Amino acid sequence: MATYRESRALSPPLPEARGVVSASVCTALGEGRAVAITPETVAAADPFGDDLQLALHVLYELHYQGFDGVDDRREWDPELLRLRHHLEDRFLGAVREAAPGGEGDTVDEALAGLLVEPRGHDPTSMTHFLQREGTREQLREYAALRSPYHLKEADPHAWVLPRLHGRAKAGMVAVEFDEFGAGHPESIHARLFADLMADLDLDIRYGHYVDATPAEALASVNLMSTLGLHRARRGALVGHFAVVEVTSSPGSRRLAQAMRRTGAGPAAEHFYDEHVEADAVHEQVVRREVVAGLLADEPHLEPDVAFGVRATVLVEDRLAARLLNAWRAGRSALRRPLPP
């Protein structure tokens, strides 16, 4: 077996712009100039669309891995941060409108629907689809478009650690410790995902598939980043994490079966098998320690936690709809098909 080359050994090139907003961000970074864009242009951008989501993605990546040829100090460029603030307001405003909370918005209510598994087949679920009829090509597409998250799995949630204390902090750190390999670099979940990608003959280099990744999948990662980076959104970040951990175990079971059925390879199976068991534990710790611990200390955050839950469900449902529409029509779900 070839030696593993770290997927994040290098910073990726800047992606291709998808409209005026992302073009102004990429040009400013690529040419080392100040960003120039009017508030009217931002206000006109579709909050869920390719242009705004890619612009946000690029701005957040300055905090994770940066870009080849871009000065690392641009992470704290006040003009870029100001623009990011406008884009975040557009995005989260649209999410709030599309996923409004009811009267007496409780976390238990927001999570209740997720703690129920469908009896039999769920035609709106992409993991049910992939389990039953997903082809190797569709599994490769799924891995490629999830790679902007899984190659930095659990990193967006680590931003919340200094904003928590007591039970919530201890629980969150324990789950993150597991996500980061529990002391073993070869078991870091991001590394397990790179191994999965290698089984599927995908390029493991960080950022390689961003240009092919649809807006709906970028939005999923952008949501985590915006919730993680703002202390004011710590409640929503915790709600987001609860959804990820609660839904992961049964979904991972289905994806592990899809990998086995298509003969994807041992690392591809292992990534999802590991998540079946790990996330059954993570779910318990997140609900009992992180969510309950946070709300015991800061009960006023309950609507924020519930918002984080609803926002995550909304964004993931939009992604599932995009993928299922494309695959059921026999089309690629990516912006450009993968080379075979």
Partner 1 sequence: MEAVDRAGKTCVSNRFVVALCVCRRSRSYPWCDTSHRRRARGEERLDPADGRGARSGAQEEGGRDGGDVP
Tallying the residues shown for the chain, one arrives at 340
- Using rule CB under 8 A, residue 148 touches partner 1: no
Q: Which is nearer to partner 1, 145 or 286 (CB)?
A: 286
CA distance 162 to 165: 8
- Using rule CB under 8 A, residue 188 touches partner 1: no
The helix-helix angle for 215-229 and 302-328 (nearest 10°) equals 160
Residues 6+ apart with CB under 8 A from 182: none
- Using rule CB under 8 A, residue 292 touches partner 1: no
What residues numbered 38-57 form the site for partner 1, per CB under 8 A? none
Site string for partner 1, 219-258 (x = CB under 8 A): ------------------------------xx--x-----
Q: Which is nearer to Fe ion, 176 or 317 (CB)?
A: 176
Cβ of residue 120: shortest distance to partner 1, in angstroms? 9
CA-based nearest residue to 260, from 282, 248, 276, 280: 276
Which DSSP string do the residues of 191-234 spell out, in sequence order? HHHHHHHHHTT---STTTTGGGS-HHHHHHHHHHHHHHH-GGGH
Cβ of residue 248: shortest distance to partner 1, in angstroms? 9
Q: Taking a C-beta distance cutoff of 8 angstroms, is the pair 223, 243 a contact?
A: no
Which part of the chain contacts partner 1 (CB under 8 A), choosing from 35-43, 111-119, 260-268, 332-340? 111-119
> Given the structure tokens 């009896």, which residue do they identify?
119
What residues numbered 262-281 form the site for partner 1, per CB under 8 A? 276-281
- Binding at 285: pick from Fe ion, partner 1, none (beta carbon under 5-8 Å per type): partner 1
CA distance 132 to 311: 28
Among 6, 31, 46, 117, binds partner 1 (CB under 8 A): 117
> Which residues here bind partner 1, judged by CB under 8 A?
112, 115-119, 174, 177-178, 182-183, 249-250, 253, 276-281, 283-285, 288
